[in-house]
Structure 1
């Protein structure tokens, strides 16, 4: 089970990032909706420093804001309110008083009295009372705090914004300059969104990143299979899903997204409010433990912490608990394995994982593009697998795949890569006398292919 953390003020130091990596973090997410490029650059430096010091590939993940409507800047800092209190929305990019600035004229055209505005992953609910040109008044149905640039949703309605925004373009340029391995695409509602994004990343990046589609809306959920087919991975964005679906059916939505992603052989990440209590507490609640446990048993490839590490008081402890719970859940995780695609490549990977489990063997693979490792991961070998790759960019991409332990190995050939990978694992004490190894490399139809079985002495 892979672990992703979100960077923020609580993780904004070299020491904390290294501690998070040592605690078992596989990928670091930078939310491009918050902060500045100067701060993001510092985060990247902390992550790559930890990567070098620990000799452990760490995924660099950029999360785009997307066509996600957000309020403007509240210059007084934040607005606190209680149920029944009136809240004023005004048109503009900023407000100096206790008003919420909305930088979209269309908002005031489509919102009507009786509509509900949801914020903070659905935790804040505001009922519209009246609307005038450039102004709306709402009554708070919940207590809460609103600060600058927070996202919002109009329940049952949609603001139509361009999919890739100018802000996103600048963020992609930043990500390209640092060779980010992954981009999380927000509010993906159809396969065309991903085609548009890939067209941009293919021009900006020397080595285009993996694109993980965040399923956050009803339209995205309804187009789920089409989106999965054109994505490298999927994110179950439970916070925003909670603004578009009744809370009581969210477990069903999560299960369906995971099930369909697994059926199509794509990695799936479960995110948001996994350990919310640990923003303040040093230990999780029992319900959080059960939630994480069930996400693992449902088949998630990775779990992603958001506020727990971005602004929480105990980011390292949160990761430690996440790893502890998921490790326990994996001990009883079972899946009825079946061929995901009727191709020779998939039949080979399926047979390879079955053989490794029958022999209780460790799989070693050398892959120049990472594709062989990705296909093997889809069949979830019980002992995982070790993958030698030629550069750090491929290693960072593989780092989020289920069971993958990538290492950068410079090699003259596939055989040379496997030999060096075996020697590295022996030196690190991962391979021991008595172990059984299965070594292989890329599978290409029409070529002779070898699969070697070793008994380590």
Structure 2
């Protein structure tokens, strides 16, 4: 049984890492969603020293950024409560310091920054079509005489990836930070508009689907209502169920990190949101091109597409990862237990090793003893045939990283004893 921790502020010192290795940890994960491989050279140095001190060789696994959706930027309140309003933007959040004056020919700017704007009928506001909905905006007499401000009720302004922004429709639900936080997209309202460029509807010659998704001509906030409160922060995961969003399998940041994998001592790679065998083959080609063909690939199953194409993913990857955080966010919590059982069964059928991860000992981020439910969860994962288990926040930011690793070892060993 392989047991993994996750690097973080709570477990980055040599002495603690050495004791975690003595407690049964066989490898550690470095999450690259929030930074690059060489961002913490002291962590990598301490990891090597810990192995020397404990006399154990352990795995250094990097978890790539990949085709994932995360909060880009956040301004305002981060701890959100049910019923509050949040404004979403494509990419970075613009300055919210004052009203803007609207001109179809110019990028909208705070009034204090506007100079020599053209006037005339070409600058009038016209009907704006957003996300397939016709939102009526009144024509005004002269350019720039209409002022638009951010929704006065919004407590938070959140930047999200542009492909996700383009895919949003009113009534959809967004799940943030492994579905801790849930938002509902509200219908566009004039009071929420924040145009950045021309207000004209895309030309009629464009295909309807392209027209509905083409927001290059306008950038404004979409208001959401908080249905389930929680904490939002830059880098937290976002899920939109039932919608395909085109994203690169490997990002430029991933390629850069792979270029430094050898010098960092990386021995394995976790690939997020794997949806088909070709996704894995693409990563394997990148590894081979850098002389890293021996690195094991752990393919993370995190959505319905990954489940549907599991057979070809198993054929291409070295290990399968049941990544329950994003998987639960994307397919729904109620479907997660059955999905874990199905993936485990299919892996056992072809003798493909698999890992179970996410919230195995979540309570131990704050408490020194796990819950009974967590003990049962780990027992079930082991009896389902898991070849490896991984702790994430429990060791990365938790108060009891060493104790959590000891409990994981003890529960896994006890669960493996045959009746």
TM norm structure 2: 0.76
Higher helix share: 1
1:167 and 2:234 aligned: no
1:326 and 2:412 aligned: yes
> C-alpha displacement at 1:81, in angstroms?
1.1
Q: Which whole-Å deviations, capped at 9, do the CAs of 1:207-259 have from their partners, x for residues lacking one?
A: 53110100001000000111001100010000011112232221111111112
Give me the CA root mean square deviation. 1.7
Following the alignment from structure 1 to structure 2, what is the Cα–Cα distance between the partners of residues 176 and 207? 11
- 2:173 pairs, out of 116, 122, 132, with 116
Which consecutive unaligned segments of at least 5 residues does structure 2 have?
Answer: 97-155, 194-218
Residues 3-152 of structure 1: pairs in structure 2 closer than 5 A: 3-74=3-74, 79-94=78-93, 98-104=156-162, 106-131=163-188, 133-152=219-238
1:260 and 2:317 aligned: no
Q: Which whole-Å deviations, capped at 9, do the CAs of 1:144-182 have from their partners, x for residues lacking one?
A: 110112120112213211111111111211223223110
Following the alignment from structure 2 to structure 1, what is the Cα–Cα distance between the partners of residues 175 and 395? 24
1:190 and 2:266 aligned: no
Q: Which whole-Å deviations, capped at 9, do the CAs of 1:292-336 have from their partners, x for residues lacking one?
A: 011111110011001111111100010111111111111127xxx
Residues 226-375 of structure 1: pairs in structure 2 closer than 5 A: 226-332=312-418
Q: Which whole-Å deviations, capped at 9, do the CAs of 1:40-77 have from their partners, x for residues lacking one?
A: 4222222211112222110110000101011213366x
Alignment CA distance shift 1:103-1:149 (3 Å)? same
What secondary structure is seen at the aligned counterpart in 2 of 1:87? strand
Structure 1 outlier segments of 4+, above 6 Å: none
What secondary structure is seen at the aligned counterpart in 2 of 1:29? strand
What secondary structure is seen at the aligned counterpart in 1 of 2:351? coil
Tell me, yes or no, if the aligned pair for 2:73 and 2:91 is still in contact at 8 Å. Answer: no
Deviates more, 1:272-281 or 1:108-117: 108-117
Following the alignment from structure 1 to structure 2, what is the Cα–Cα distance between the partners of residues 174 and 311? 25
What secondary structure is seen at the aligned counterpart in 1 of 2:3? strand
Following the alignment from structure 2 to structure 1, what is the Cα–Cα distance between the partners of residues 233 and 67? 19
- Length, aligned pairs only: 331
Q: Which whole-Å deviations, capped at 9, do the CAs of 1:404-444 have from their partners, x for residues lacking one?
A: xxxxxxxxxxxxxxxxxxxxxxxxxxxxxxxxxxxxxxxxx
Alignment CA distance shift 1:63-1:210 (3 Å)? same
Which consecutive unaligned segments of at least 5 residues does structure 1 have?
Answer: 334-457
Following the alignment from structure 2 to structure 1, what is the Cα–Cα distance between the partners of residues 165 and 74? 19
Tell me, yes or no, if the aligned pair for 2:328 and 2:335 is still in contact at 8 Å. Answer: no
Alignment CA distance shift 1:207-1:249 (3 Å)? closer
What secondary structure is seen at the aligned counterpart in 1 of 2:232? strand
Alignment CA distance shift 1:134-1:208 (3 Å)? farther
What secondary structure is seen at the aligned counterpart in 1 of 2:299? strand
Tell me, yes or no, if the aligned pair for 1:73 and 1:95 is still in contact at 8 Å. Answer: no
Tell me, yes or no, if the aligned pair for 2:324 and 2:357 is still in contact at 8 Å. Answer: yes
TM norm structure 1: 0.70
Q: 1:361 — aligned with what? A: none
Following the alignment from structure 2 to structure 1, what is the Cα–Cα distance between the partners of residues 36 and 310? 32
> C-alpha displacement at 1:109, in angstroms?
2.7
Residues 392-431 of structure 1: pairs in structure 2 closer than 5 A: none
> C-alpha displacement at 1:36, in angstroms?
4.2
Following the alignment from structure 1 to structure 2, what is the Cα–Cα distance between the partners of residues 207 and 250? 33
Tell me, yes or no, if the aligned pair for 1:269 and 1:302 is still in contact at 8 Å. Answer: yes
